[in-house]
Structure 1
């Protein structure tokens, strides 16, 4: 009795053209599968790689170029730790937001960020800020000014035993866009998360060893947005300036 292998070989010998066509089609099909797998892995890696958009590090080198920036506002700085360049990145993110900005920040003292948030309010954005109550009267605090310019601000009523010590900002999250407009996030809007050790203060940007990371990962952004919303709702009956 002929085996399957010998039958196959005999068929191939008797039908060389058909055999070539079948083998060729199989090779093409296999190559398509392999290429699809390569593209999938490549694209997944590319997406994952792009989830972190920037890492801003502040240290003792962040202000070594400060005098040059004071003399020339357009100074092309090569210092990768430069406070001014880092600040410009954050301001640009605020300026590019289209719908909402939710900030949980121990305190805010940087005028450039205050101005950017004022402009966001003027553009019609919904801006919310959760901060630590004790920082309302700290030196240089911009909380009261932001409140007067339309930023919705809330803080825990009692911070004697615990601090509102978060330092993060969510811009144009999908859930907030849907909440505010009733529509899903558009292709032109990109959710951004800014988080790290640094407060938005002169001390953090100019005198401390700090970090700020900018993310575009939807899952991570959703976690931070959910926590912001949870805290915000919990403060309904707490200290509110507006």
Structure 2
């Protein structure tokens, strides 16, 4: 048997005061391939916590584990199972480590996998934070929209970007890790000056963002590049 440890941080917007309940359940399918077996599925992390009131959350960890036939002891016994999990509360958010046993294979070193946040979840979290801040500084934002900002100041604000890694599944069962910028729109921004700042075709940025209107605080996705990787036992 081998063990795989998955580590994931769950963003609860820094509002977790007390964890009421927490469960981890696996849902896995097994696929015979030419030279081994692949396990595909999810770990469902469900919980209930107290902030100002009682709330629920559900997070999924995607599994894609390939066992080479040379390391499989008994194909009929090959399966993955959640053995245990531990958690820590950090700054109002939850960090969880899940121990998964891989049965039916030769013993090997433990593996540790850090699960990156879903990019859409990051965008949603950023948007929520920005919405809250916009409510607090609405008068200032309205003033910025009316007044003409100096060109130099706009260029400085255009440099405020966020970078994140995005994981996407592709048809050959490999993981494609692409880097994107998350750009926060400033007053007087246009698709044209944003495209020039990144030396990119304006149409590409418009297409990636469905030609969204450029309101102050709006988040745009700016494509960058990608790499590939594969999980193996």
Fold match (TM-score > 0.5): no
TM-score range, shorter chain: under 0.3
Give TM-score, length-normalised by structure 1: 0.21
- Larger relative helix fraction: 1
Which has the greater radius of gyration? 1
Higher relative contact order (CA 8 A, sep 6+): 1
Give TM-score, length-normalised by structure 2: 0.22
- Larger relative strand fraction: 2
